Amino acid sequence: MSCGGKVLLVILSMYTSISSCDNLYKSMTLVWGYPQIINGKAEKIVSSSWDECVLKCYQEDSCTLVHKSSSGCDLYRFKTVVSARNPSHPYREDLIAFKTLLPTNTCPINPFINSSIYTYQDASLITYNTTITYSVDSNNDTIINFNYTTLKCPTGSKLFIRGIIPVCLSVQYFTNESTYKYCANLTRASALCKKSGGTLTGPANGAELQYFTNVSLTATKIAPYPDTSIRIWIDGDSVYVARQWIMEDPTHNGDAAYPYGSDAPNSIWPGSGLYLYFFPTSLVDDYL
């Protein structure tokens, strides 16, 4: 392809990982219950009231659940509790509080309707995800299940959370070995992403767009082009109908967060792909 003034230097790669958070509220859900299946030893919290124990779990990222029993308060960290039981009335004695992320900062009427996830990252940039799901057994007891996964983003990428999906985003560069140095078409962009273990993607929100902007402008250190010439391919290919985009990556909600210009994209033929450029402002256009 001829770059024709649109120097498409870099592409976007997303490493989809674990399905495991924008605008969510960290909360402690307090219900009757007790740990049912454990996979490690609980920490006995001494000289502490129940409220202080719940607060400790809330403040410490690695804490999953605390249990109040006649013997005091037990704290369970990442991977140490597999499930807990919320018994039906009247078999209720112990209390548990488990950490979750909620869409609002108010208590839900029924805390057991929707699955939820709590995600945190440690100093080594390892991401820990706890997925919480609910089921009801034959005794009409609610079973609270905890599923654990971890993710470490590759060097040069950054973690973002899309709803309940953690992704590692990075910008990949074409080499100077292509016909047009540091420049190639959308098909090769997609192939390069897959070769790196990911898929072509696009910005899902303003924070991701800012990340792409900041990282992509470093391309001038690799390729001999000015900032004003930097273009990156993003997810979106009008394979069959002009300006109707087929996406590779389902996690960024289509082009909802794409900053289109007032008159872009404007191709009248199918087969064009979307790209992002940054001067004078970040905008998305298409190129055939």
- Concatenating the DSSP letter of every residue in the chain gives ---TT--EEEEEEEEE-----TT-EEEEEEEE-EEEEESSPPEEE-S--HHHHHHHHHH-TTEEEEEEETTEEEEEETTSEEEEEEPPTT----EEEEEEEESSSS--S-TTSS-EEEEEE-TT-EEEEEEEEEEE-TTSPEEEEEEEEEEEPPTT-EEEEETTEEEEEEEEE--TTSSBTTB--HHHHHHHHHHTTSB----SSHHHHHHHHHHHGGGGGTSS--GGG-EEEEEEE-SSSTT--B-S-GGG-TTTT--B-TT-S--SSTT-EEEEE-SSS-EEEEE-
pTM, to two decimals: 0.66
Regarding beta strands 231-237 and 43-45, do their DSSP bridges make them parallel or antiparallel, or are they unpaired? unpaired
Positions in the chain whose pLDDT score sits under 50: 1-8, 10-11, 15-22
Q: What pLDDT is recorded for position 180?
A: 67
The residue with tokens 């976007």 is 12
Selection from 109, 106, 88, 108 nearest residue 32 by Cα: 88
- Asked, for residue 2, whether it belongs to a domain, the answer is no
Assigned token pair, 231 = 């273009």
Q: What pLDDT is recorded for position 1?
A: 32
Q: What pLDDT is recorded for position 178?
A: 63
Whether 16 and 86 have beta carbons less than 8 Å apart is answered as no
The residue with tokens 């080499």 is 175
- Asked, for residue 1, whether it belongs to a domain, the answer is no
- Whether residue 37 sits in one domain with residue 12: no
Residue ending a domain, choose from 121, 152, 183:
152
Number of domains in the chain: 2
Residue ending a domain, choose from 152, 175, 198:
152
Residue ending a domain, choose from 89, 123, 152:
152
The residue with tokens 């605008």 is 23
Assigned token pair, 183 = 């420049």
- Asked, for residue 14, whether it belongs to a domain, the answer is yes
Q: What pLDDT is recorded for position 159?
A: 84
d(CA 123, CA 176): 36
Q: What pLDDT is recorded for position 33?
A: 94
- Whether residue 259 sits in one domain with residue 197: yes
CATH code for the domain of 269? 3.10.100
- Whether residue 224 sits in one domain with residue 136: no
Name the residue range of residue 250's domain: 8-18+164-287
Whether 81 and 39 have beta carbons less than 8 Å apart is answered as yes
Q: What pLDDT is recorded for position 132?
A: 94
Whether 256 and 209 have beta carbons less than 8 Å apart is answered as no
Q: What pLDDT is recorded for position 20?
A: 31
Q: What pLDDT is recorded for position 146?
A: 97
Q: What pLDDT is recorded for position 84?
A: 96
